Chains A and B, each alone.
Chain A
Amino acid sequence: MLMLRALAYFFQEAITSLWRSRLVNSISIGTIAVSLFVLGAFLTVAGNLGTVVSRWTEKIQIIVYLEDGIEDRVRDSLENRLREDAAVESIELVDREEALARFQTLFRDLSSLPEDLGENPFPASLEVNLKPTHQSPGEVERLAADFTSVPGVQEIQYDLLWIERLATGVRLLRGVGAFLGGILVLAGIFTISNVIRLTVYAREDELDIMRLVGATRAYVKGPFVVEGMIQGGLGGLVAAGLLWLALRWLARDLASSELLGRTAFALPNEITVALVVGGMVVGVVGSLLSLRRVRV
C-alpha cells in the first residue's frame, strides 16, 4: 500500500512537472525521439534485409552446366557422384529443350532468338539443391571446387558472391546504425539529464523542504526518475510512430518490388518495444545522472 502510494505520488509529481515546463520537456522528448528513430531505422532496415538475405540463401542453387553432346554414361556417373555428396538434397536435370522453353517464357520478346541463331544456344544443366544444414557459402564453394574438373562438366555457376556482398552490407549497416545510434542515445541521455537538472534547480526549495521534514531518498528522487522515464518512454513512442510512418511511406513506393517483398518494410513489434523500453532506460539513466549531486 505504502509502495503504491509512493508510486502514485511519483507519477503525480512527475506529470505535473512535465506539464509545467512542457516546452523544455518537448525538446528533450524530441531529442530522444530523433536518436531512437535513427537507431530504430538502421536496426529495422538491417533486420529486414537480413531476413531477405537469409531467405535468398535458402534458395541457393548450384547449376552445373553440362558439356555439349555429353554421353549418357558420363552424365549418369556425374549425377550419381553428386547424389552421394553429403550436402546435396536433390538434383534436377534441365535438358536443352527445357532450358530453351524456360528462356522463352521468361523473355517473351526474345523468344525468336533461337530461330534467328538457327540453333538452340542453351546447354543442358543439373540444378543442385542443397540440404538446409549445408546451405553455407563455404559448403557451396567446396562443392563447386570438387566438381569443376569432373568429366562432363562445362561450368559451375552459383549466385553466392552477391548474396555474400549483401550480407556484408547488412552487417555494415547494422554496425553503422549501432554506432550512430549509440552516439545519439548518449546525446539523449545528456539532454534528459540536463533538462532534469534544470527541473531540480527550479524545485530546489521543495527539495530542501522535503529533506528537512524527513523525506526518504526515494521520495526525494523518485518523482525525477519517473519524470525522466516518462520523457524517455514518450521519446521512444514518438520514434516508433515516426518509424512506422516512414516504413509505410517506403512500402507504398516500393510495394511493386517483388525482389524485396513487403516484409522488408515492416516494423517488427520487438523494435517498437525496444524503442519504448530503451527510451525509458535512457530517461532513467539521464535523471539519475542529474540527481547524483542532490543531497538527501
Chain B
Amino acid sequence: MIQAFHVYKQYDRESMALSDITVHVEKGDFCFLTGPSGAGKTTFLKLVFREELPSQGQILVGGRNITAIPDGQIPELRRSVGVVFQDFKLLKRKTILENVAFVPRILGVPAREQKRRAFAALRSVGLHHKMHAYPLQLSGGEQQRVAIARALINEPMLLLADEPTGNLDPDMALEIMRLFLEVNARGTTVLVATHDREMIQRMGKRVIALERGRVVAA
C-alpha cells in the first residue's frame, strides 16, 4: 500500500527532517509509526497524502507514484486516503452530521445522498444518535470518532492517523484504537503515528520507529 524508496525531506539547510527512508506497508496492514517528537512522523504522513513533496526519493501509494502525479490529480489521491489528526479538525459551527456530510458535499454528491452517507459513517463509529450535536458539546473521544467517521466516509484504501489519541485519556484512547482495529478488519490499511509506547505494546502490531529523521526499526 505504501512504498517509500530512499526518501529525504529537508525544510531548511541546517536540518534534515527525513533521511533515506525506505519502508513498505502492505495492503491490509495495521502499523504504528513511532518515535520522539521531532523524529519525522508527521512529515512522513504529510508526504504520504501529498501535503508535502519529498526533496528526494519516491513514494508509491496504492501502486501510484505520488511524487510524480500532477497537481490536478491530488484531490483524487486524497479521496482515497483518510486522515485523522490529534486536534480533530472539526468545524465548530457545523453539527457533527454536517461535519461528516461536508466531504460528500464538496465532492458534489446530491444532498440526500450526503446525509445518508454521513449517517452511515456516524453509525459505524457509534455516534448516530448525537448527529445534531455540535463538536464542542462532545467529549474529546467522541470528537475524534466524528473525525474518524469523516475520514472513512469515502471508504478509503488507507487511513492515516497523526497522534489520534494525544489529547485523550487512556480509556478513550483505547476506544479509538479499537475503532481503528475494526476499520482495519474491514480491509482498510491503517498507519497510526504515536509516541504512546504503552499503547503500542498493548496492541501488538507492527512498529516503524523513527529517530531524527531515520528509520531505526521497521
How many pairs of residues, A versus B, come closer than 8 Å at their CB atoms?
Answer: 48
Are A212 and B83 in contact, with the CB atoms below 8 A?
A: yes
In the assembled complex, A69 has its CB within 8 A of some CB on chain B: no
CA distance A206 to B91 in the complex (A): 7
A219 near B91 with CB under 8 A, answer no
User: Are A208 and B107 in contact, CB atoms less than 8 angstroms apart?
Assistant: no
Complex CA–CA separation, A5 to B71 (angstroms):
23
A58 to B49, CA, bound (A): 73
Contact with B along A84-115 (1 / 0, CB 8 A): 00000000000000000000000000000000
Interface residues on B, range: 20 to 34
CA distance A219 to B74 in the complex (A): 13
Q: Could you say which residues of chain A place their CB within 8 Å of the CB of B91? A: 205-206, 209
Which residues of chain B are near A212, meaning CB under 8 Å? Answer: 49, 51, 78, 83, 89
Q: Are B154 and A213 neighbours in the complex by a CB distance under 8 Å?
A: yes
- Is A2's beta carbon under 8 Å from chain B? yes
Which of A212, A215, A217 has the most chain B CB atoms closer than 10 A to its own CB? Answer: A212
A217 cross-chain contacts in B, Cβ below 8 A:
72, 75
- Whether A201 sits at the interface, judged by CB under 8 Å, is no
A214-B76 in contact given A5-B108, A9-B106 (Cβ < 8 Å): yes
> What 0/1 pattern do residues 107 to 124 of B give for CB contact below 8 A with A?
110100000000000000
CB distance from A43 to the nearest CB of B (A): 41
Asked if B89 and A214 sit within 8 Å, CB to CB, the answer is no
Using known A-B contacts A209-B102, A210-B106, determine if residue A215 contacts B75 with beta carbons closer than 8 Å: yes
Choose from A205, A208, A219, A296 the contact partner of B106 (Cβ within 8 Å): A219
Which size bracket describes the interface of A in this complex? 10 to 19
Q: Is the CB of B89 within 8 A of A216?
A: no
Query: Can you give 21 A-B contacts (C-beta < 8 A)?
Result: A5-B108, A5-B110, A9-B108, A209-B91, A212-B51, A213-B78, A213-B102, A213-B106, A214-B75, A214-B76, A214-B77, A214-B78, A214-B107, A214-B154, A215-B75, A215-B106, A216-B75, A217-B72, A217-B75, A219-B108, A296-B71
- B-side interface residues toward A, CB under 8 Å? 49, 51, 71-72, 74-79, 83, 89, 91, 102-103, 105-108, 110, 150, 154
Given contact pairs A213-B78, A214-B75, A214-B107, a sample of 15 additional A-B residue pairs in the complex whose CB atoms are under 8 Å apart? A2-B108, A5-B108, A5-B110, A9-B106, A205-B91, A209-B89, A209-B91, A209-B102, A211-B51, A212-B78, A213-B154, A214-B78, A214-B79, A215-B75, A217-B72
